[in-house]
Amino acid sequence: MNDTIAKRRIFAMLDADGDGIVSKHEYLARTKHVVAATGRTEDDPQVIAARLAGEQAWASMDASGDGDMTFDEYAAWAGPEAFDSVCEPTLGALFDLADTDADGTLTRSEFTVLREALGNPVGNAHAAFDALDADADGRISREEYLASIREHVTGEGSPMGEALYSDVKTAP
């Protein structure tokens, strides 16, 4: 899969209301959804870290500073450098919220809670978990998870990414 298709799929998932624009509210709601799904409290240090990472990511993505992000803005921003400096810490913070036992891995249940809170259907989350759990130990490490998302975003091909976004409708 090329990186333009991957970016369109991710953008479509971020665009929760499907209006072709990702608002700051839509983007930051992702953290709220994970917090609610994991039952964490607002004063939890992991919640505070995830909210801060999300705010920093949004500031980096919203090139025009108008509170809305178009696909063109996202496509120009997204890539290996943005992933490494902005997305990885943000996605890592969300991973940490879902890692309820703080062992650095997600079980199928934790992974499904995370991905469903981020807008993926349960079936896609299960397929993505299976694709990523190559050693079939029932756990996915933080490093495996982030590396697979990076591969998807950069168009290198990620079985996990393909499973998560396989049914996402994108505009041409």
pLDDT for res 53: 95
Q: Is residue 126 part of a domain?
A: yes
Q: Is residue 172 part of a domain?
A: no
pLDDT for res 150: 85
Give the 3-state secondary structure of residue 137.
coil
Q: Is residue 85 part of a domain?
A: yes
Q: Is residue 45 part of a domain?
A: yes
Which mean pLDDT values do the consecutive 10-residue runs of the chain (172 residues) have?
75 90 95 96 95 94 91 89 90 96 96 91 88 90 89 72 59 46
> What domain count does the chain have?
1
Q: Is residue 114 part of a domain?
A: yes
Global pTM reads 0.87
Q: Is residue 171 part of a domain?
A: no
Q: Is residue 117 part of a domain?
A: yes
How many other CB atoms sit within 10 Å of the CB of residue 116?
A: 16
Q: What are phi and psi of 125, to 5 degrees?
A: -60, -40
- Domain limits for position 68: 3-165
Q: Is residue 159 part of a domain?
A: yes
Cα–Cα dist 117/137, whole Å = 24
CATH number reported for the structural domain that contains residue 110 in this entry: 1.10.238.10
